Amino acid sequence: MRLFVPAAILFSCSPILCVAASQGAQSGGDQAVISIANAPKNGLMRQYKASVKVDLSIGDASPADGLTWPQAVAEAQQHNPSLIEAKLFIQQGEKQVDIGDAGFLPTVTANAGINRGQGQQIVNGGVFNTSAGSYQGSLDGTWNIFDGFSTLATRDLNLAAVQNRQAAYDQASSALYLSLGEAFDQLLYDQNNMALQKLLVQRYRADTLYQEQEFKGGLTALWTYEKAQSDEASQVWSFKQAKYSLQSDQAALAILLGRDADAPDLSVAGTLTVTAAPEDFHGDLRRMLQDNPTLRYYRSLVAEDDAALWNAESTRYPSLSASGSWGTSGEENWGPRNREWQGSLNLSYELFAGGGAEAAITQADQALKQAQTTADDELHQWEAALLKAWTAYIGGYERLPSAAMAVRAGADRFATVGALYQSGREEFLDYEQAESIYSGAQSGLLGQLLAAAEAQVAYKNALGMTLEDAAASPAP
């Protein structure tokens, strides 16, 4: 089950608001300001002007050209610096495996040389010119047939390092999913909040214009008119704060996508969507223990240290190597040619090396035990983290129906009290209270939706969700 914010609930317009908004459109549009610098003492808000403009043209809840969640995921996968770095780190590890595997194959070296010289010799007073030259060439080969399992252990160690780097990439991808999902939902909230704040500015502006007419007609007190202006000024401030938050959160999302922080016109498309929290927590816990990238990362560290121990223990075994060569040489006239070859087998065993090898084995064993202890500690911490995330998720989801009911109740009360106030059967304080309750309920529902959506992302992150897993979903 998914729960959305219907626009009809969040941005509904009561009959009294529609009437007042119509009056506002005829009496000054959506410009509002409070000018108090030279206000008379008998009425601080009496000099109500429209000299400061409020741009209400921004804040579409879901623009048609906005970035969808799958598009945001694809862009982050391609351009986010942390993911690019993690991918390159994996590739370096794979090349290290290739370097280590070279130890399984023989080494062949070709050598060639030519020498030439000229000189003079004096014999019995006579001078003789001399010259000499020679050449030689050879092919030499060596093959480490058995090196005490060192090559095999090195290969296991290199493969474990690659697995560790892959787990580190998944960990980075999971962390980026959390940051990107929260930033995406936050920008969705900002856009919806801008639309709501725009509606509230128009609503309170309509109240001010209505009270202005009432005051000029002698039908209401000065303080009532001043209170309406004060409420409108406060709402204008809230609108501007929402705009600043929108700009800040656009920059945060742009950085995660690999863009410049001042990327222009960044908006997202979609709706704040919260799926029902799962009831099978223990089933999710078992999946988390298997799939959480951070836990897999620490398990890979254990595997890498286990391979390092095996690599250290390989020094306890003897080694066997073979070598051979074939060569030819001759004088300057290229003959007669001399050919020679040789081959050998060498067996070696290190009897004593000052205890350094055994100390290295002990050190590797201690490192393995430390890695296992750290992995166990991380497992316990993530068990607690998943439970905390689940309680926040299910609590946030269960809060949404009552928040939506509060909006409906607030809308009905505002419409009823507004009609009674227009007919003179309710006081302004009653009308103002109903309006405040309704506006607060609308803002509250939107805030509760964001909190529930963020709790949902945090829970999925704890389960082990990565960007690759989230790419097929229409929302974080």
CATH of the domain at 386: 1.20.1600.10
pLDDT at 239: 92
> How far from chain centre, in Å, is Cα 278?
24
pLDDT at 423: 81
Q: Does residue 276 sit within a domain?
A: yes
Q: Does residue 338 sit within a domain?
A: no
For residue 262, the 8-state DSSP code is: T
Q: Please tell me whether the overall predicted TM-score, pTM, comes out greater than 0.95 for this model.
A: no
Q: Are 304 and 162 in contact (CB under 8 A)?
A: no
> 407: closest CA among 395, 415, 417?
415
Q: Which domain holds residue 466?
A: 2-106+147-320+354-470
Q: Are 319 and 147 in contact (CB under 8 A)?
A: yes
pLDDT at 451: 94
SS3 155: helix
Q: Does residue 174 sit within a domain?
A: yes
> Which H or E run includes 323?
strand 319-331
> 357: closest CA among 415, 399, 316, 302?
316
Q: φ and ψ at 32, to 5 degrees? A: -150, 145
Count of domains in the chain?
A: 1
Q: Does residue 94 sit within a domain?
A: yes
Q: Does residue 327 sit within a domain?
A: no
Q: Does residue 39 sit within a domain?
A: yes
Q: Does residue 286 sit within a domain?
A: yes
Tokens found for residue 132: 């000499």
Residue type for 257, please? L
- The DSSP result for 453-469, as a single string, is HHHHHHHHHHHT--HHH
Buried b (16+ CB within 10 A) or exposed e, 388-415: ebbebbbebbebbeebbebbeebbebbb
Tokens found for residue 67: 């970035």
> 385: closest CA among 174, 92, 71?
174
* Cα 38-39-40 angle, rounded to 5 deg: 115
Q: Does residue 115 sit within a domain?
A: no
Kindly tell me the burial class for residue 117, based on how many C-beta atoms sit within 10 Å of its own C-beta (0-12, 13-18, 19 or more). exposed
pLDDT along the chain (476 residues), means of 10: 52 40 32 30 36 51 78 93 88 84 82 79 73 79 77 83 88 93 95 91 89 85 87 91 92 92 82 85 87 89 86 81 82 68 82 79 89 92 91 92 93 91 84 91 94 94 90 88
